[in-house]
Amino acid sequence: MKNIVVVGSQWGDEGKGKIVDWLSEQADVVIRFQGGHNAGHTLVIDGKTYKLRLLPSGIVRKNKISIIGNGVVVDPWALLEEIKEIKDKGIDVNVNNFIISESANLILPFHKEMDEIREDSAGKSKIGTTRRGIGPAYEDKVGRRSIRLMDLRSEINLDQRLDSVLLHHNAIRKGLGKKLFQKEQLKKDLLKIAPDLLKFSQPVWMKIDKFKKQNKKILFEGAQGILLDVDHGTYPFVTSSNTVASNAATGTGCGPDSINYVLGITKAYTTRVGEGPFPTELNDEIGELLGTKGKEFGTVTSRKRRCGWFDGVLVRQTIKVSGINGIALTKLDVLDDLDEIKMCIEYELNGKKIDYLPASVEDQLKIKPIFKSFKGWKKSTNGVKNIDELPQEAKNYIYAIEDFVGAKISSISTSPERDDTILVENPFEI
């Protein structure tokens, strides 16, 4: 048995969807373990594009079981809409191939409103959230006042739970001069969709234990990237959950011994959506070229991504923090037209050289990158499937990344198409 966790080693948007889709063909079970519908995965299969936000990437494949774990926060209406969208494209979603943890916490309309209120009032201090209510929903979870999927089974229980959570939210809304949120219509709306959601509800921890006994291959699918981790990322410009690989166990209900291999998806350059530090950001024509050729727009929000050179210091750090065993390098072909390519190998902070990203956001905003330059290959790598067919300059760059970050590159993606991948080693077969 080999169970794999897939995480993003940068700020998200590394191309996890394609890699997870490729791995899901070999897996029996695919599980989302954190985040919400703020993280999008784009899959391109046989020329057809699927944009997933909550549904695990395995849903597009037959004879696979897809699971939303307890660590995910779920907007019930967004999920039902996504299920409808994917069904309209010919993908079946039923109780045999899709499960939601009964312990999953729900994102409700007042969470989204609170997200918007905070961002609008923050001015220059805004985080750059997707305004989908993810953060406020996680706050209610930790505050022990959240509505969970299981609460929809009983109208009496739901009524009491809504009283509890709205007592908190309406106190804040009143203080901010906002209209108080009314319970009754929300309760009716939730009870109306409850049967559509509860039919997928199961104790996921129990299902995982059963799958392990059956020697099924499990793929744990992370969202966002490690640099957005609430503990280990560029705080406070982070998401509201733990994006590191170890959260795959907590966010699904299994022990860390269930994880056999951690694959870090890593872009051949660096991008970031939203606010926050970005040491290697390029605000010039090269940054524009990377964004245009790489089609760097968010799957969920369509926001333009900030682009910059590959930051080896950051990726080396996230590899250690998340226990990454191997790297899937993506979007190599985006660099094809460049005369020179750079990689950050060190920082300078207050006149001193450092080899890690400091925890203080004040320091993160001050650091200056120190680069190593590589000669560009000026040849197309698009669609290449064998590493020997790559230009020597491209191989030099790849091997330099591998050597610097201290993790083996297990695969190299040379286009958005699923089959345009150079496989060095298969995590399921190690």
What is the tens place of the pLDDT at every residue in 157-190?
999 999 999 999 999 999 989 999 999 999 999 9
* Helices 76-88, 183-198: inter-axial angle, 10-degree rounding: 40
Please state, in angstroms and rounded to a whole number, the distance separating the CA atoms of residues 307 and 295. Answer: 11
Whether the full predicted model's pTM is greater than 0.75, yes or no, is yes
* Interacting residues of 131 by C-beta distance below 8 A, sequence separation 6+: 112, 115, 116, 119
pLDDT tens column, 94-144: 999 999 999 999 999 999 998 888 877 766 666 666 788 999 999 999 999
Q: Is the pLDDT of residue 254 over 80?
A: yes
Terminal-residue alpha carbon distance, the chain? 11
pLDDT tens column, 270-281: 999 888 999 999
Q: Residues 376, 333: contact at Cβ < 8 Å? A: no
Provide the pLDDT for residue 391.
97
Q: Residues 222, 207: contact at Cβ < 8 Å? A: no
Q: Which two tokens stand for residue 216?
A: 């099924």
How much is the average pLDDT of 12-16? Answer: 88
pLDDT tens column, 194-226: 999 999 999 999 999 999 999 999 999 998 999
How much is the average pLDDT of 325-344? Answer: 96
> Which is the catalytic residue, given 37, 41, 111, 232?
41
How much is the average pLDDT of 62-91? Answer: 95
Provide the pLDDT for residue 43.
74
168 labelled catalytic: no
Over its C-alpha atoms, the chain yields an Rg (Å, rounded) of 22
Q: Is the pLDDT of residue 68 over 80?
A: yes
Provide the pLDDT for residue 51.
84
Please state, in angstroms and rounded to a whole number, the distance separating the CA atoms of residues 417 and 20. Answer: 13
**Binning pLDDT at 50, 70 and 90, where does residue 301 land?**
low
Provide the pLDDT for residue 300.
60
How much is the average pLDDT of 321-333? Answer: 96
13 labelled catalytic: yes
Q: How many CB atoms lie within 10 A of CB 340?
A: 10
